[in-house]
Amino acid sequence: MVEVVSLGDGSLVSPTHRLDVIGFFCPVPVAEAKKALSNMNAGQILEVWADDPETVHDMPLLVTRGKNIILSIEESAGELRFLIEVIE
């Protein structure tokens, strides 16, 4: 399980793709992340911004079903930043 840390204390890698789903609630953030990840290649990194608290549980579940890993989950003022790397 990846620990949620304060914004700025997570992974230092630079994302290659960004997805902003602030203001959207389940199932939109996970569905949009899944769609974005399916169009990415190994080694690319998706940065997802969300404010739905359920994404803390849902994004790790999405990652376990695919060929991806969560590099970090950061939080600030209710906004979450996920960095997800495509590994295959």
Q: What residues are labeled active site?
A: 26
The runs of H, that is alpha helices, within the chain are 28-38, 55-64
Q: What tokens does 49 get? A: 């911004």
> CB–CB of 67/49 below 8 Å?
no
**Strand pairing partners for 4?**
73
Amino acid at 35: K
